[in-house]
Structure 1
Amino acid sequence: MSDLIAIVYPSEAKAEEVRQRIFELQKEYLITVGDAVIATKSADGKVKLNQLFNTTAAGATTGSFWGLLVGILFLNPLLGVAVGAASGAIGGALSDVGINDAFMKELAGKLTGDKAALFVLVRSMTADKVLKDLSSHGGEVLQTSLDESKEQVLRNALQQAQQTPG
Protein backbone atom coordinates (compact mmCIF):
# COMPACT_ATOMS: atom_id res chain seq x y z
CA MET A 1 0.00 0.00 0.00
CA SER A 2 1.27 3.46 -0.89
CA ASP A 3 1.24 6.54 1.31
CA LEU A 4 0.87 10.13 0.17
CA ILE A 5 2.90 12.83 1.88
CA ALA A 6 2.52 16.53 1.05
CA ILE A 7 5.02 18.94 2.61
CA VAL A 8 5.16 22.72 2.12
CA TYR A 9 8.54 24.41 1.63
CA PRO A 10 9.39 28.13 1.53
CA SER A 11 10.34 28.02 -2.16
CA GLU A 12 10.17 25.87 -5.28
CA ALA A 13 13.98 25.58 -5.19
CA LYS A 14 13.87 24.10 -1.69
CA ALA A 15 11.14 21.64 -2.70
CA GLU A 16 13.25 20.58 -5.71
CA GLU A 17 16.29 20.12 -3.44
CA VAL A 18 14.28 17.80 -1.20
CA ARG A 19 12.85 15.92 -4.21
CA GLN A 20 16.39 15.31 -5.49
CA ARG A 21 17.43 14.09 -2.03
CA ILE A 22 14.50 11.64 -2.05
CA PHE A 23 15.76 10.27 -5.37
CA GLU A 24 19.21 9.81 -3.84
CA LEU A 25 17.62 7.91 -0.94
CA GLN A 26 15.80 5.78 -3.49
CA LYS A 27 19.15 4.85 -5.06
CA GLU A 28 20.25 3.77 -1.58
CA TYR A 29 17.14 1.52 -1.35
CA LEU A 30 15.77 3.41 1.67
CA ILE A 31 12.59 4.57 -0.08
CA THR A 32 10.55 3.55 -3.11
CA VAL A 33 8.75 6.46 -4.75
CA GLY A 34 5.76 6.08 -7.04
CA ASP A 35 5.57 9.77 -7.91
CA ALA A 36 7.05 13.09 -6.73
CA VAL A 37 5.42 16.34 -7.86
CA ILE A 38 6.12 19.95 -6.93
CA ALA A 39 3.15 22.31 -6.94
CA THR A 40 3.38 26.09 -6.93
CA LYS A 41 0.76 28.82 -7.01
CA SER A 42 1.32 31.89 -9.17
CA ALA A 43 0.34 35.43 -8.23
CA ASP A 44 -2.84 35.13 -10.32
CA GLY A 45 -3.88 32.02 -8.35
CA LYS A 46 -3.08 29.40 -10.99
CA VAL A 47 -1.53 26.19 -9.70
CA LYS A 48 1.39 24.73 -11.69
CA LEU A 49 2.42 21.09 -11.28
CA ASN A 50 6.07 20.19 -11.94
CA GLN A 51 5.75 16.48 -12.66
CA LEU A 52 8.46 13.95 -13.30
CA PHE A 53 6.73 12.08 -16.06
CA ASN A 54 5.12 13.77 -19.05
CA THR A 55 2.45 11.28 -20.13
CA THR A 56 1.64 13.22 -23.32
CA ALA A 57 5.25 13.13 -24.57
CA ALA A 58 5.68 9.50 -23.55
CA GLY A 59 2.44 8.57 -25.32
CA ALA A 60 3.51 10.39 -28.48
CA THR A 61 6.87 8.62 -28.49
CA THR A 62 5.35 5.19 -27.96
CA GLY A 63 2.60 5.93 -30.49
CA SER A 64 5.18 7.03 -33.08
CA PHE A 65 7.05 3.76 -32.72
CA TRP A 66 3.96 1.58 -33.09
CA GLY A 67 2.62 3.82 -35.87
CA LEU A 68 5.91 3.43 -37.78
CA LEU A 69 5.75 -0.32 -37.37
CA VAL A 70 2.15 -0.51 -38.62
CA GLY A 71 2.94 2.01 -41.36
CA ILE A 72 5.79 -0.16 -42.66
CA LEU A 73 3.41 -3.12 -42.86
CA PHE A 74 1.01 -1.07 -44.98
CA LEU A 75 3.79 0.61 -47.01
CA ASN A 76 3.17 4.11 -45.63
CA PRO A 77 5.50 4.64 -42.65
CA LEU A 78 5.15 8.47 -42.50
CA LEU A 79 1.39 8.30 -42.19
CA GLY A 80 1.80 5.57 -39.58
CA VAL A 81 4.17 7.72 -37.51
CA ALA A 82 1.84 10.74 -37.70
CA VAL A 83 -1.27 8.77 -36.75
CA GLY A 84 0.61 6.86 -34.04
CA ALA A 85 2.10 10.01 -32.51
CA ALA A 86 -1.26 11.79 -32.48
CA SER A 87 -3.14 8.87 -30.94
CA GLY A 88 -0.34 8.24 -28.45
CA ALA A 89 -0.28 11.89 -27.38
CA ILE A 90 -4.05 11.90 -26.90
CA GLY A 91 -3.89 8.67 -24.91
CA GLY A 92 -1.01 10.01 -22.82
CA ALA A 93 -2.79 13.27 -22.09
CA LEU A 94 -5.89 11.40 -20.95
CA SER A 95 -4.02 8.99 -18.69
CA ASP A 96 -2.93 9.98 -15.22
CA VAL A 97 -0.28 7.99 -13.43
CA GLY A 98 0.71 8.55 -9.84
CA ILE A 99 -0.97 11.22 -7.77
CA ASN A 100 -4.29 12.63 -8.95
CA ASP A 101 -3.72 16.05 -10.54
CA ALA A 102 -7.05 17.53 -9.41
CA PHE A 103 -6.31 16.53 -5.81
CA MET A 104 -2.86 18.17 -5.93
CA LYS A 105 -4.24 21.35 -7.48
CA GLU A 106 -6.94 21.57 -4.82
CA LEU A 107 -4.41 21.22 -1.98
CA ALA A 108 -1.87 23.52 -3.64
CA GLY A 109 -4.59 26.17 -3.90
CA LYS A 110 -4.01 26.73 -0.16
CA LEU A 111 -0.40 27.84 -0.74
CA THR A 112 0.54 31.44 -0.04
CA GLY A 113 3.42 33.58 -1.28
CA ASP A 114 6.33 31.82 -2.97
CA LYS A 115 5.78 28.56 -1.11
CA ALA A 116 5.80 25.21 -2.90
CA ALA A 117 4.31 21.86 -1.96
CA LEU A 118 6.14 18.59 -2.56
CA PHE A 119 3.78 15.65 -3.07
CA VAL A 120 5.43 12.25 -2.71
CA LEU A 121 3.70 8.92 -3.29
CA VAL A 122 5.72 6.52 -1.15
CA ARG A 123 5.41 2.83 -1.95
CA SER A 124 7.73 1.76 0.87
CA MET A 125 10.42 3.28 3.06
CA THR A 126 12.71 2.71 5.99
CA ALA A 127 10.94 5.40 7.96
CA ASP A 128 13.48 6.11 10.71
CA LYS A 129 16.39 6.65 8.30
CA VAL A 130 14.40 8.59 5.73
CA LEU A 131 12.79 10.90 8.30
CA LYS A 132 16.12 11.53 9.99
CA ASP A 133 17.67 12.49 6.66
CA LEU A 134 14.80 14.64 5.40
CA SER A 135 14.07 16.38 8.70
CA SER A 136 17.15 18.57 8.23
CA HIS A 137 15.37 20.26 5.30
CA GLY A 138 12.46 21.45 7.42
CA GLY A 139 9.05 22.03 5.89
CA GLU A 140 5.48 21.86 7.11
CA VAL A 141 3.15 18.90 6.66
CA LEU A 142 0.20 19.84 4.47
CA GLN A 143 -1.43 16.41 4.38
CA THR A 144 -0.54 12.72 4.60
CA SER A 145 -2.23 9.37 4.38
CA LEU A 146 0.08 7.99 7.09
CA ASP A 147 -1.46 6.62 10.26
CA GLU A 148 -1.64 9.12 13.11
CA SER A 149 1.48 7.94 14.95
CA LYS A 150 3.69 8.03 11.84
CA GLU A 151 2.29 11.41 10.83
CA GLN A 152 3.05 12.80 14.28
CA VAL A 153 6.64 11.50 14.05
CA LEU A 154 6.99 13.28 10.69
CA ARG A 155 5.51 16.52 12.05
CA ASN A 156 7.80 16.41 15.10
CA ALA A 157 10.90 15.77 12.96
CA LEU A 158 10.12 18.70 10.63
CA GLN A 159 9.21 21.00 13.52
CA GLN A 160 12.44 20.14 15.35
CA ALA A 161 14.42 21.06 12.23
CA GLN A 162 12.74 24.48 12.10
CA GLN A 163 13.57 25.17 15.75
CA THR A 164 17.21 24.13 15.40
CA PRO A 165 19.36 27.17 14.53
CA GLY A 166 21.64 26.77 11.59
Structure 2
Amino acid sequence: MTTFTVWKFDDPEGAQAAASNLKQAASEGLITVVDHAVVSWPVGQATPTTKQAHEGEWRGTGWGAFWGLLLGTLFFMPLIGAAAGAAIGALAKHTEAVGIDKTQLETIREQVTVGTSALFAVTQDGDIDRVGERFHGMRGKLIATNLTDAERSTLLETFGS
Protein backbone atom coordinates (compact mmCIF):
# COMPACT_ATOMS: atom_id res chain seq x y z
CA MET A 1 0.00 0.00 0.00
CA THR A 2 1.26 3.48 -0.84
CA THR A 3 0.97 6.05 1.94
CA PHE A 4 1.38 9.80 2.12
CA THR A 5 2.44 11.28 5.46
CA VAL A 6 3.49 14.70 6.67
CA TRP A 7 5.44 14.99 9.91
CA LYS A 8 5.94 18.40 11.54
CA PHE A 9 8.94 19.19 13.75
CA ASP A 10 9.24 22.12 16.14
CA ASP A 11 12.60 23.21 14.79
CA PRO A 12 13.93 23.94 11.29
CA GLU A 13 16.34 20.94 11.32
CA GLY A 14 14.05 18.16 12.58
CA ALA A 15 12.60 17.16 9.20
CA GLN A 16 16.03 16.77 7.60
CA ALA A 17 17.15 14.49 10.43
CA ALA A 18 13.95 12.45 10.02
CA ALA A 19 14.55 12.22 6.25
CA SER A 20 18.03 10.80 6.94
CA ASN A 21 16.50 8.20 9.27
CA LEU A 22 13.90 7.34 6.64
CA LYS A 23 16.59 6.86 3.97
CA GLN A 24 18.58 4.64 6.32
CA ALA A 25 15.49 2.51 7.02
CA ALA A 26 14.93 2.21 3.26
CA SER A 27 18.53 1.14 2.65
CA GLU A 28 17.96 -1.66 5.15
CA GLY A 29 14.80 -2.81 3.36
CA LEU A 30 12.39 -1.75 6.11
CA ILE A 31 10.38 0.53 3.82
CA THR A 32 10.28 1.66 0.21
CA VAL A 33 10.51 5.42 -0.16
CA VAL A 34 8.73 6.41 -3.35
CA ASP A 35 9.72 10.05 -2.86
CA HIS A 36 9.95 12.67 -0.16
CA ALA A 37 10.39 16.39 0.35
CA VAL A 38 11.65 18.44 3.27
CA VAL A 39 10.34 21.90 4.15
CA SER A 40 12.41 23.97 6.57
CA TRP A 41 11.37 27.41 7.78
CA PRO A 42 14.10 29.08 9.87
CA VAL A 43 13.23 32.07 12.02
CA GLY A 44 13.77 35.32 10.13
CA GLN A 45 13.10 33.85 6.70
CA ALA A 46 10.06 35.15 4.80
CA THR A 47 9.36 31.79 3.16
CA PRO A 48 10.48 28.23 3.82
CA THR A 49 13.11 26.36 1.85
CA THR A 50 12.15 23.12 0.18
CA LYS A 51 14.22 20.16 -0.88
CA GLN A 52 12.71 17.52 -3.14
CA ALA A 53 14.43 14.15 -3.07
CA HIS A 54 13.50 12.58 -6.43
CA GLU A 55 14.16 9.09 -5.07
CA GLY A 56 13.92 7.42 -8.44
CA GLU A 57 15.27 9.12 -11.54
CA TRP A 58 12.46 7.70 -13.67
CA ARG A 59 9.89 9.11 -11.26
CA GLY A 60 11.59 12.45 -10.70
CA THR A 61 9.68 14.48 -13.23
CA GLY A 62 6.25 13.36 -12.06
CA TRP A 63 7.07 13.79 -8.40
CA GLY A 64 8.78 17.09 -9.06
CA ALA A 65 5.55 18.40 -10.55
CA PHE A 66 3.56 17.02 -7.60
CA TRP A 67 5.86 18.57 -5.00
CA GLY A 68 6.02 21.83 -6.94
CA LEU A 69 2.23 22.10 -7.05
CA LEU A 70 1.72 21.02 -3.45
CA LEU A 71 4.49 23.01 -1.79
CA GLY A 72 4.09 26.02 -4.07
CA THR A 73 0.40 26.34 -3.27
CA LEU A 74 0.86 25.76 0.45
CA PHE A 75 3.87 27.97 1.10
CA PHE A 76 4.86 30.24 -1.76
CA MET A 77 1.67 31.77 -3.08
CA PRO A 78 0.98 35.03 -1.23
CA LEU A 79 -2.57 34.15 -0.29
CA ILE A 80 -4.81 35.42 2.45
CA GLY A 81 -8.38 34.80 3.46
CA ALA A 82 -10.72 33.61 0.72
CA ALA A 83 -7.93 33.42 -1.86
CA ALA A 84 -6.04 30.90 0.29
CA GLY A 85 -9.18 28.81 0.71
CA ALA A 86 -9.85 28.86 -3.03
CA ALA A 87 -6.27 27.85 -3.87
CA ILE A 88 -6.32 25.00 -1.35
CA GLY A 89 -9.70 23.90 -2.69
CA ALA A 90 -8.29 23.78 -6.23
CA LEU A 91 -5.22 21.89 -5.00
CA ALA A 92 -7.45 19.39 -3.17
CA LYS A 93 -9.10 18.47 -6.48
CA HIS A 94 -5.66 17.36 -7.74
CA THR A 95 -4.69 15.52 -4.58
CA GLU A 96 -7.95 13.74 -3.71
CA ALA A 97 -7.03 10.80 -5.93
CA VAL A 98 -4.09 10.03 -3.65
CA GLY A 99 -6.10 10.51 -0.46
CA ILE A 100 -5.07 14.04 0.49
CA ASP A 101 -8.12 16.13 1.27
CA LYS A 102 -8.76 19.84 1.74
CA THR A 103 -8.79 19.59 5.54
CA GLN A 104 -5.35 17.97 5.55
CA LEU A 105 -3.99 20.65 3.21
CA GLU A 106 -5.35 23.41 5.45
CA THR A 107 -3.82 21.72 8.51
CA ILE A 108 -0.41 21.53 6.82
CA ARG A 109 -0.56 25.21 5.83
CA GLU A 110 -1.60 26.26 9.35
CA GLN A 111 0.92 24.15 11.27
CA VAL A 112 4.11 24.42 9.22
CA THR A 113 5.17 27.93 10.18
CA VAL A 114 8.27 29.98 10.92
CA GLY A 115 10.64 28.07 13.19
CA THR A 116 9.40 24.61 12.16
CA SER A 117 10.05 21.99 9.50
CA ALA A 118 8.13 19.15 7.87
CA LEU A 119 8.90 15.85 6.19
CA PHE A 120 6.53 14.96 3.36
CA ALA A 121 6.89 11.27 2.48
CA VAL A 122 5.32 8.88 -0.01
CA THR A 123 6.20 5.33 0.98
CA GLN A 124 5.26 1.72 0.33
CA ASP A 125 5.57 -1.62 2.08
CA GLY A 126 6.76 -0.31 5.42
CA ASP A 127 7.41 -2.40 8.49
CA ILE A 128 5.89 0.21 10.80
CA ASP A 129 7.23 -1.36 13.98
CA ARG A 130 10.83 -1.47 12.78
CA VAL A 131 10.75 1.88 10.98
CA GLY A 132 9.10 3.38 14.06
CA GLU A 133 12.14 2.47 16.13
CA ARG A 134 14.14 4.90 13.95
CA PHE A 135 11.76 7.77 14.62
CA HIS A 136 11.00 7.13 18.28
CA GLY A 137 11.95 10.14 20.34
CA MET A 138 12.34 12.55 17.41
CA ARG A 139 9.25 14.44 18.59
CA GLY A 140 7.67 14.70 15.20
CA LYS A 141 3.94 15.21 15.00
CA LEU A 142 1.92 13.48 12.29
CA ILE A 143 -0.27 16.20 10.76
CA ALA A 144 -1.52 14.58 7.55
CA THR A 145 -1.87 11.09 6.13
CA ASN A 146 -4.06 9.00 3.86
CA LEU A 147 -3.87 6.00 6.19
CA THR A 148 -7.04 4.53 7.67
CA ASP A 149 -7.84 5.46 11.27
CA ALA A 150 -6.58 2.06 12.49
CA GLU A 151 -3.32 2.37 10.52
CA ARG A 152 -2.86 5.91 11.78
CA SER A 153 -3.32 4.81 15.42
CA THR A 154 -0.75 2.05 14.97
CA LEU A 155 1.67 4.48 13.36
CA LEU A 156 1.30 7.02 16.16
CA GLU A 157 1.74 4.36 18.85
CA THR A 158 4.79 2.89 17.15
CA PHE A 159 6.51 6.18 16.38
CA GLY A 160 6.01 7.41 19.92
CA SER A 161 4.42 10.70 18.88
Relative to the length of structure 1, the TM-score reads 0.62
Judged with a 3 Å threshold, the aligned counterparts in structure 2 of structure 1 residues 53 and 7 are, in CA distance, closer, same or farther, namely: same
Aligned to 2:19: 19
Aligned to 2:4: 4
User: C-alpha distance in 1, partners of 2:2/2:144?
Assistant: 14
| Residues 45 and 109, structure 1, Cα contact 8 Å, conserved in 2 | no
User: C-alpha distance in 2, partners of 1:99/1:10?
Assistant: 27
Judged with a 3 Å threshold, the aligned counterparts in structure 2 of structure 1 residues 35 and 51 are, in CA distance, closer, same or farther, namely: same
1:52-91 pair list within 5 angstroms: 52-53=53-54
User: C-alpha distance in 2, partners of 1:23/1:116?
Assistant: 17
Q: Number of matched residues?
A: 124
SS at match of 1:109: helix
Relative to the length of structure 2, the TM-score reads 0.64
Amino acid at match of 2:8: V
Q: Deviations over 1:51-95 (max 9, x none)?
A: 1239xxx8xxxxxxxxxxxxxxxxxxxxxxxxxxxxxxxxx8xx4
Kindly state the Cα deviation for residue 133 of structure 1 after the two structures are TM-superposed.
2.4
User: C-alpha distance in 2, partners of 1:152/1:98?
Assistant: 30
Aligned to 2:37: 37
Kindly state the Cα deviation for residue 157 of structure 1 after the two structures are TM-superposed.
4.1
| Residues 33 and 122, structure 1, Cα contact 8 Å, conserved in 2 | yes
2:154 counterpart of 1:153: yes
Aligned to 1:126: 127
Matched-pair identity in %: 18
SS at match of 2:150: helix
User: Greater Rg, structure 1 or structure 2?
Assistant: 1
Specify every segment of 5 or more residues in structure 1 that has no aligned partner in the other structure, as ranges: 59-91, 162-166
